[in-house]
A and B are shown apart, each in its own frame.
Chain A
């Protein structure tokens, strides 16, 4: 293997592709070749930086310098000035890569929005490593946690204990303690009454990311698929599963492609398959492609879909931990949850507990969207305030407008008004404020946004995605949509807001799954914080 003096990283995501990253890459490679620098400088593709709207981003290592909005024509200048003379190119937007080690304490100003210091546990490798090259992943510490477990012969019980001690909670939205889920699955009895083992248990990675405004899982799948493989293998070892599935949304073509490539490479390196790392432990992994149904993000619906059926949620209990895929004990974990596992095993539960809050340790990946200066994806400690996320990481409201509300957690989320901006973003603090963390989506709305209009969009979404199995949800979503439609048209009837809330409450109490149970959240919070927008007067007219 040849050694290069400098590496240039080009993050690939939808934004950079749109801005022409592949053209820049081609030009770079050609220019380097003509200048005979291609043996000294290597151009690599990486996962996303999480920064949207900055055009093509180019990072130079080991100089740790970013360039933004790079165009094909800038390539020659970057080579001449930076790569040959070692000078930062003046006149091109640039910023130094923040020092990760001091991220926790450094409170520097957020000059470049999303690239301000972030503590990255889940996304630590997504933008510094070429996800398509397992050698790079291994060099960057990938699979070291798996090696630790199998090499030091940690028992499955010890692994579960460590995860339990870490306090890791599911990042899919519900916040259930991961260690407990694994323990239940491990101890689950098979139908024959003995402890089920090996091929009779399953680990499933829920990558059916469908919550509107959420794309964190996609960026993990594309930026660091090996981390997921490692985590699922560790999970399989802990619960005693012989087979795992990654259920990925059908729309995520690139995620499926990258994940498959990573699985193939891992098999080649004996990190998956029979007798992993020459131990007795065997485990294999398969991708299943979803077919576009929001409800399949619910774990029992996902399992039904994996079995090749309509994704109708099951009645719980029994829970998947005892009666999951093919009625066998199954642990279903979200992508982001799993992505925490290798770091917990490598660094220990104590280290993990030092991050975030007491009851919600660790970091959280947030997607910041809507009317902010820097929409994109960040990872920060649990318990960071909403204000900090919007105004520091997100750069504040775009165009000098005023903040009106934030919708947290996607469509199945909660509207928060200005007075609640200082709420801490973790499961417990949000619960106290009748809000939810959900998937970590933060949709920011400026003063010009109509809450009624937003709620209409949400109601439409629910009406479309209701699977139709439970009548309250099937009919309730349609009725609510009609009511909010007429309020939006200015033809609301007296009592409409109350009826809407009443319907949502019925759905909450009598639906099987979180889809039907959660429409009440946006409705209730909208009515509570923005009642003036829903005022209906007796002439069937809405006040402006």
Chain B
């Protein structure tokens, strides 16, 4: 696939990324930092974005793809509105982390790595957050929840969904 052949839409997101790339010209080895920014802007790194990064940084697409697939942090699929990241480090494992994983898979009806049909939750796992004193832990978006058991973990997910739904109902009422 020729990088040039892909049509890149001219929109706010790409303009923002382009600005960041322009600012990092002259800095050696910017690829990873650029991808960090791109994922922040787009939420994930579809091939189209990778084409754009490759073209702008003048590196082969294969190199961009290689870096994206190497690191855990980068994603090539869109994710849900909220990301559940369950820790599977040894400290969490010894405190029953995998039981929580099973409970969450059952609750959400998806496997680890999947996203719910309504794109509300993405279930993901991580090695270690460095919050081992609170084991077992999960991170819901940016927030760490510790000392969990399966029931508690499921409860946390239900609560967030209920909150969001309640807020949506409120806005609907106001609009009416």
State the A residues within 8 Å of B (CB): 14-15, 17-18, 52-53, 209-215, 218, 249-253, 288-294, 305-311, 326, 367, 369-371, 375-377, 407, 410-411, 441, 443, 445, 449, 453-454, 457-458, 460-461, 464-465, 467
B92: nearest chain-A partner, CB-CB:
A212
Q: What is the bound-complex CA distance between A410 and B88, given in angstroms?
A: 13
- Contact between B130 and A214, CB atoms less than 8 A apart: yes
- Contact between A210 and B134, CB atoms less than 8 A apart: no
Knowing that A18-B145, A461-B90 touch, tell me 8 more A-B residue pairs with CB under 8 angstroms. Answer: A14-B146, A18-B144, A293-B70, A369-B133, A370-B95, A370-B135, A407-B90, A441-B91
A292: nearest chain-B partner, CB-CB:
B72
Residue B160 interfacial (CB < 8 Å): no
Q: What is the bound-complex CA distance between A387 and B145, given in angstroms?
A: 31
- Contact between A15 and B32, CB atoms less than 8 A apart: no
- Contact between A443 and B90, CB atoms less than 8 A apart: yes
- Contact between B130 and A252, CB atoms less than 8 A apart: yes
With A215-B132, A370-B91, A410-B90 as known contacts, state yes or no: A251 contacts B126, CB within 8 Å: yes
Residue B35 interfacial (CB < 8 Å): yes
CB distance from A336 to the nearest CB of B (A): 14
Residue B154 interfacial (CB < 8 Å): no
- Contact between A250 and B36, CB atoms less than 8 A apart: yes
Residue B103 interfacial (CB < 8 Å): no
A250: nearest chain-B partner, CB-CB:
B73
- Please indicate the chain B residues that have their CB under 8 angstroms from the CB of A17 in the complex: 144
A50: nearest chain-B partner, CB-CB:
B133
With A449-B94, A454-B94 as known contacts, state yes or no: A375 contacts B132, CB within 8 Å: yes
B133: nearest chain-A partner, CB-CB:
A52
- Contact between B131 and A215, CB atoms less than 8 A apart: yes
State the B residues within 8 Å of A (CB): 28-33, 35-36, 63, 66-67, 70-74, 88-91, 93-95, 98, 126-135, 142, 144-146
- Please indicate the chain A residues that have their CB under 8 angstroms from the CB of B131 in the complex: 14-15, 215
With A213-B132, A251-B129, A326-B28 as known contacts, state yes or no: A467 contacts B70, CB within 8 Å: yes
- Contact between B36 and A15, CB atoms less than 8 A apart: no
Q: What is the bound-complex CA distance between A370 and B134, given in angstroms?
A: 10
A289: nearest chain-B partner, CB-CB:
B36
- Please indicate the chain A residues that have their CB under 8 angstroms from the CB of B146 in the complex: 14-15, 18
- Determine which of A253, A309, A369, A407 lies in contact with B67 in the assembled complex, contact meaning CB atoms within 8 Å: A309
- Contact between B91 and A310, CB atoms less than 8 A apart: no
- Determine which of B35, B36, B66, B130 lies in contact with A215 in the assembled complex, contact meaning CB atoms within 8 Å: B130
- Determine which of B28, B73, B129, B133 lies in contact with A376 in the assembled complex, contact meaning CB atoms within 8 Å: B133
Q: What is the bound-complex CA distance between A291 and B98, given in angstroms?
A: 24
- Please indicate the chain B residues that have their CB under 8 angstroms from the CB of A53 in the complex: 133
With A18-B145, A308-B29 as known contacts, state yes or no: A209 contacts B94, CB within 8 Å: no
- Contact between A288 and B70, CB atoms less than 8 A apart: no
- Contact between B73 and A212, CB atoms less than 8 A apart: no
- Contact between B28 and A307, CB atoms less than 8 A apart: yes
CB distance from A48 to the nearest CB of B (A): 9
- Contact between B73 and A218, CB atoms less than 8 A apart: no
**Which 4 A/B pairs are nearest by Cβ-Cβ distance?**
A52-B133, A292-B72, A308-B29, A215-B130
- Contact between B32 and A305, CB atoms less than 8 A apart: yes
Q: What is the bound-complex CA distance between A289 and B35, given in angstroms?
A: 11
- Please indicate the chain A residues that have their CB under 8 angstroms from the CB of B72 in the complex: 291-293
- Determine which of B29, B33, B94, B98 lies in contact with A371 in the assembled complex, contact meaning CB atoms within 8 Å: B94
A305: nearest chain-B partner, CB-CB:
B32
CB distance from A367 to the nearest CB of B (A): 7
Q: What is the bound-complex CA distance between A375 and B73, given in angstroms?
A: 28
With A15-B146, A370-B95 as known contacts, state yes or no: A461 contacts B127, CB within 8 Å: yes
- Contact between A377 and B142, CB atoms less than 8 A apart: no
- Contact between A292 and B73, CB atoms less than 8 A apart: yes
> What are 7 residue pairs bridging A and B, where the CB atoms are less than 8 Å apart in the complex?
A14-B134, A212-B89, A212-B91, A290-B73, A292-B127, A308-B29, A376-B133
Q: What is the bound-complex CA distance between A410 and B89, given in angstroms?
A: 9
With A292-B71, A326-B28 as known contacts, state yes or no: A15 contacts B33, CB within 8 Å: no
- Please indicate the chain A residues that have their CB under 8 angstroms from the CB of B36 in the complex: 250, 289, 291
B90: nearest chain-A partner, CB-CB:
A212
- Contact between B127 and A367, CB atoms less than 8 A apart: no
A450: nearest chain-B partner, CB-CB:
B94
- Contact between B90 and A377, CB atoms less than 8 A apart: no
With A310-B66, A443-B90 as known contacts, state yes or no: A212 contacts B142, CB within 8 Å: no
- Contact between B142 and A253, CB atoms less than 8 A apart: yes
- Determine which of A214, A371, A457 lies in contact with B88 in the assembled complex, contact meaning CB atoms within 8 Å: A457
- Please indicate the chain A residues that have their CB under 8 angstroms from the CB of B134 in the complex: 14-15, 18, 52
With A291-B71, A449-B94 as known contacts, state yes or no: A210 contacts B127, CB within 8 Å: yes
- Please indicate the chain A residues that have their CB under 8 angstroms from the CB of B128 in the complex: 210-214
- Please indicate the chain B residues that have their CB under 8 angstroms from the CB of A326 in the complex: 28
- Please indicate the chain B residues that have their CB under 8 angstroms from the CB of A252 in the complex: 130
- Contact between A213 and B90, CB atoms less than 8 A apart: yes
- Please indicate the chain B residues that have their CB under 8 angstroms from the CB of A214 in the complex: 128, 130, 132
- Please indicate the chain B residues that have their CB under 8 angstroms from the CB of A209 in the complex: 130
- Please indicate the chain A residues that have their CB under 8 angstroms from the CB of B88 in the complex: 457, 460-461
CB distance from B170 to the nearest CB of A (A): 24
- Please indicate the chain B residues that have their CB under 8 angstroms from the CB of A294 in the complex: 127
CB distance from B113 to the nearest CB of A (A): 12
- Please indicate the chain B residues that have their CB under 8 angstroms from the CB of A457 in the complex: 88, 90, 93-94, 98
- Please indicate the chain A residues that have their CB under 8 angstroms from the CB of B135 in the complex: 369-370, 375
